[in-house]
Amino acid sequence: MGTGDLPQALKQLLRAAILSLLALLPVVGGMGFTLFRAIAGGGSDWGALGITVVAMTLILVALFGTIRCGATLLQTRQRQLAEMDALAFMGEMATAVAHGLRNPLASIRSSAELALDADYEPVRKNARDIVTQVDFLSRWVRELLLFTQPVAGEPEPVDLAVVLGQVVESFAPACAKAGVRMLWTRKDAAGIRIEGNVSLVTQALHSVLSNAIEAMPAGGELRIAMAFQVDRQRFLLTIADTGVGMSEKQLALAFKPFHTTKRHGLGVGLAMVKRVMERFGGSVALSSREHEGTVVRLEFRMV
């Protein structure tokens, strides 16, 4: 369904409202007759008159509420369709960009790696800078391709302890280098099976942990806590860092695609996390204070 189908959806909404009005005509007519009898009788039947007025008011309020709800749903659908059209266009653009950049980037990186063995230190330094920047560009292309593609993947039971353990282990070298102490207990997630997709859940957790570690350039603590929700149908994973935190303005824009405060960021990480969580009936929430840190709450639906 494209944006061109919106007028048709609007027609359907108006048709439903008109049909509702036509269906109510006999009821309204009967109420009008009752009202006429009450008035013609010199106001002798004030009870019937009051009931008629109240009933007519309730019907009109219900009809107004139905139309307003439909209009709200229509606006939401219109916004979603606009976003889908934008993502489709960006996907085509990202594919073209990736196809045009991958081979040149690979050639540039290979040439720079050869220069790493040069005897002259300034040459080696420049070669290292080139490799670093090429890696940044390659990562941007990958992230853009991932974000602009539909969130595909069949729902399946995911062992949270296994997936989270693998992601945490993959960040061990980065934590050691940045002086970040990761605090979590693997057994807290033992036996927890959530609804999702292994690849997509891994990708979401990777993005959240990467953001947390990058927010602590001078070191700090990264705490991972887990808990059942009250109904035990959902499982809450909380990831908290002691990094630079975010201002209220930054927090309000955190899930907006391509908004980033990082020097080498693309701004699609949290937006992708949100899409993945919602794809499988979960949710993500953020809270943060500047110079104190950020807390990410991932709520999964349990199997």
Look at residue 158 and tell me whether its pLDDT is greater than 90.
yes
Record the pTM: 0.62
Q: Which long-range contacts (CB under 8 A, 24 or more apart) does 115-118 make?
A: none
**What pLDDT, on a 0 to 100 scale, did the predictor assign at position 256?**
84
pLDDT in tens, 223-281: 999 988 767 789 999 999 999 999 999 999 888 877 777 766 667 788 889 988 988 88
Map residue 120 onto helix, strand or coil. coil
Report the distance separating Cα 74 and Cα 66, nearest Å: 12
Higher pLDDT, 132 or 165: 165
Confidence at 4, pLDDT banded by 50, 70, 90: very low
Report the distance separating Cα 256 and Cα 266, nearest Å: 11
Choosing among 3.40.50.410, 3.30.1330.60, 2.60.40.10, 3.30.565.10, the CATH entry for 156-301 is 3.30.565.10
**What pLDDT, on a 0 to 100 scale, did the predictor assign at position 39?**
62
Residue 292 carries which DSSP code?
T
The backbone torsions φ and ψ at residue 148, rounded to the nearest 5 degrees and listed phi first, read: -85, -10
Closest to 214 in 3D by CA, of 294, 118, 299: 294
Could you tell me which residues come within 8 angstroms of residue 237 by beta carbon, excluding any fewer than 6 positions away? 160, 164, 224, 225, 226, 297, 298, 299, 300
Report the distance separating Cα 186 and Cα 166, nearest Å: 11
Given its phi and psi angles, is residue 42 left (phi above 0), alpha (psi -120 to 50 degrees) or beta?
left
Please, what is the average pLDDT of the chain? 79
Domain boundaries, the chain: 1-150, 156-301
Look at residue 218 and tell me whether its pLDDT is greater than 60.
yes
**What pLDDT, on a 0 to 100 scale, did the predictor assign at position 47?**
63
What angle, rounded to 10 degrees, do the helices at 46-115 and 121-148 form?
150
**What pLDDT, on a 0 to 100 scale, did the predictor assign at position 33?**
65
Instruction: Pinpoint the alpha helices (H) of the chain.
Output: 6-40, 46-115, 121-148, 160-170, 172-178, 198-214, 248-252, 269-279
Confidence at 297, pLDDT banded by 50, 70, 90: very high
Query: Rounded to the nearest 5 degrees, what angle is found at the Cα of 182, between the Cα atoms of 176 and 188?
Result: 145
**For residues 180 and 220, is the Cβ–Cβ distance under 8 A?**
yes
pLDDT in tens, 102-152: 788 888 888 888 888 888 888 888 888 888 888 877 776 776 666 666 666
On the CB side of 28, CA atoms within 13 Å amount to: 12
Confidence at 56, pLDDT banded by 50, 70, 90: low
**What pLDDT, on a 0 to 100 scale, did the predictor assign at position 1?**
46
- For the four alpha carbons of 169, 175, 176 and 182, in that order, the dihedral sign comes to negative
